[in-house]
C-alpha cells in the first residue's frame, strides 16, 4: 500500500487529489497539510511513502518546505505546479532541489479526459514511491567540463548525422547530466522529446543553455538543423525532422494531438529520424513511464541505427528504457553518468 501525504492550501485540490488517488486500492492518503510548516511536521509523524507538494502556500511555500524535507527527512516529492511560465521556473528549481516529478495544478485544463488523468496520476504515484529518494549531486548553473574528445574523424567518416533523445518522468535531471557534458563543437545536431507542458519547454531549454557549451533552444517550425545545437521539442506539439530538397534537414512542429498519448511524442520524433537518417542516427532512451519511443526506436533499429538505453538503477522510472531493452533494441545499457561520454564517442 502506497501512503501519500497531500500538501495544498486549497481544500478543493486536497479533495480532488484524494478522490483520484484513493480510487486505486493500492493507494491510501495517510494525511493532508495546508502549508509547508504542516507538511514538514506531517512528513516526520506520518512517514508517507510519497508527498504531493503545492508551490504557493501561506506561512511556508512549497520550495522552502521541500528543502527542509530533503535535508531532514528525505522522501519522494511530486510538485503540484501551475502551467504558467513562472510556474515552470519554480518547478524546475524544485526538481533541482530534489523533487522527483510534477503534476499540473489546473487538472481540468488538460487535453486528456479525467479518466486518463486519474490513471496517469495513480500510476505515477505508485512508480515514484517505489524508487525512493536518489542521492545525487546537484549540478549548478554554469558551463560543465565536457568529457575528453574522441579521436578526430573526417566528415565523410562520420558514423551518425544526428542524435535523438526521448525521455519523460525524471528526464529534466537526466538531461542535465548529459547535455552540459557535450562539447561546444559537437559535430551533429541533437533533437530531444521530453514530456512537458507547453510553458515548460522554453524555460527548460534556457536553463540547459546556461549550463552547456552547446547551444540549447526550443525547436521552431521550419528551422534548419545545425551541428552543435540541441533542439528541445516544444510542449505545445510534436516535433519531427524533415529532409528538404534531399540535402537540408528542418524541424516540423505539428500542434495537432494526432494518435499519440503524450505531446510532444518520442515516437513521432524517432520515426521521423529513422526516415531522414536511416542507419545514420543514434537513438537514446532515458527514464520515463510507459513505452513512448518503442515504435520509433524499433524502426530506427531496423534501418541500422544504434540505440542506447539508461539502466534501471539510475532511472527515476524504468519504464521507457525497459520497453526498449526488453524488445532487444538496445546496443548499450548504461548508467546516466556514462551516457554523455558514449554519445560523444559515437558521434
Q: Name, in order, each residue with C-beta under 8 angstroms of 179's C-beta and a sequence gap of 6 or more.
A: 190, 208, 211, 212, 214, 216, 230, 340
Our answer to whether residue 68 is catalytic in this structure is no
Our answer to whether residue 168 is catalytic in this structure is yes
Alpha helices, DSSP H only, in 170-230? 171-176, 198-211
**Largest Cα–Cα distance in the chain?**
65
The Cα 318–Cα 156 span in angstroms is 37
CB 94 within 8 A of CB 54: no
Q: Which value, to the nearest 10 degrees, does the dihedral of the CA atoms of residues 239, 316, 5, 122 take?
A: 60
Pairing state between β 238-244 and 229-232: unpaired
Catalytic entry in 81, 129, 168, 314: 168
Our answer to whether residue 23 is catalytic in this structure is no
Q: Which value, to the nearest 10 degrees, does the dihedral of the CA atoms of residues 44, 48, 50, 51 take?
A: -60
Catalytic entry in 49, 54, 177, 292: 292
Catalytic entry in 195, 238, 265, 272: 195
| CA distances in angstroms from 228 to 209, 211, 215, listed in the order given | 12, 15, 7
| CA distances in angstroms from 219 to 40, 215, 216, 251, listed in the order given | 40, 12, 9, 7
323 class by beta-carbon count within 10 Å (0-12 exposed, 13-18 middle, 19+ buried): buried
Radius of gyration of the chain from Cα atoms? 20
Active site residues: 168, 195, 292
Amino acid at each position: 500500500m502506497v501512503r501519500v501525504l497531500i500538501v495544498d492550501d486549497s481544500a478543493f485540490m486536497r479533495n480532488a487529489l484524494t478522490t483520484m488517488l484513493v480510487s486505486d486500492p493500492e493507494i491510501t492518503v495517510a494525511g493532508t497539510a495546508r502549508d509547508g510548516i504542516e507538511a514538514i511536521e506531517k512528513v516526520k509523524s506520518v512517514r508517507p511513502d510519497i508527498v504531493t507538494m503545492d508551490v504557493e502556500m501561506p506561512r511556508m511555500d512549497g520550495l522552502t518546505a521541500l528543502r527542509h524535507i530533503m535535508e531532514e527527512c528525505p522522501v519522494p516529492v511530486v510538485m503540484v505546479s501551475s502551467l504558467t511560465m513562472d510556474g515552470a521556473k519554480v518547478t524546475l528549481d524544485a526538481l533541482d532541489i530534489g523533487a522527483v516529478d510534477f503534476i499540473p495544478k489546473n487538472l481540468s485544463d488538460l487535453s486528456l479526459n479525467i479518466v486518463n488523468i486519474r490513471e496517469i496520476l495513480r500510476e505515477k504515484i505508485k512508480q515514484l514511491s517505489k524508487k525512493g529518494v536518489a542521492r545525487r549531486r546537484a549540478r549548478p548553473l554554469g558551463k560543465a567540463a565536457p568529457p575528453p574528445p574522441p579521436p578526430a574523424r573526417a566528415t565523410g567518416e562520420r558514423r551518425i548525422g544526428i542524435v535523438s533523445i526521448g525521455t519523460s518522468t525524471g528526464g529534466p535531471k537526466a538531461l542535465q547530466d548529459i547535455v552540459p557534458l557535450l562539447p561546444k563543437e559537437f559535430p551533429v545536431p541533437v533533437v530531444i522529446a521530453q514530456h512537458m507542458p507547453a510553458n515548460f519547454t522554453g524555460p527548460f531549454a534556457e536553463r540547459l543553455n546556461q549550463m552547456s557549451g552547446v547551444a540549447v533552444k526550443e525547436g521552431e517550425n521550419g528551422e534548419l538543423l545545425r551541428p552543435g545545437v540541441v533542439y528541445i521539442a516544444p510542449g505545445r506539439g510534436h516535433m519531427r525532422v524533415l529532409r528538404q530538397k534531399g540535402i537540408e534537414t528542418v524541424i516540423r512542429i505539428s500542434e495537432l494531438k494526432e494518435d499519440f498519448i503524450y505531446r510532444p511524442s518520442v515516437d513521432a520524433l524517432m520515426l521521423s529520424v529513422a526516415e531522414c537518417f536511416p542507419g545514420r542516427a543514434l537513438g537514446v532512451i532515458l527514464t520515463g513511464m510507459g513505452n513512448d519511443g518503442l515504435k520509433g526506436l524499433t524502426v530506427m533499429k531496423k534501418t541500422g541505427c544504434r540505440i542506447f538505453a539508461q539502466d534501471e538503477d539510475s532511472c527515476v522510472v524504468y519504464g521507457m528504457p525497459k520497453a526498449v531493452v526488453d524488445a532487444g533494441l538496445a546496443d548499450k545499457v548504461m548508467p546516466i553518468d556514462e551516457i554523455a561520454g558514449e554519445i560523444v564517442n559515437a558521434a
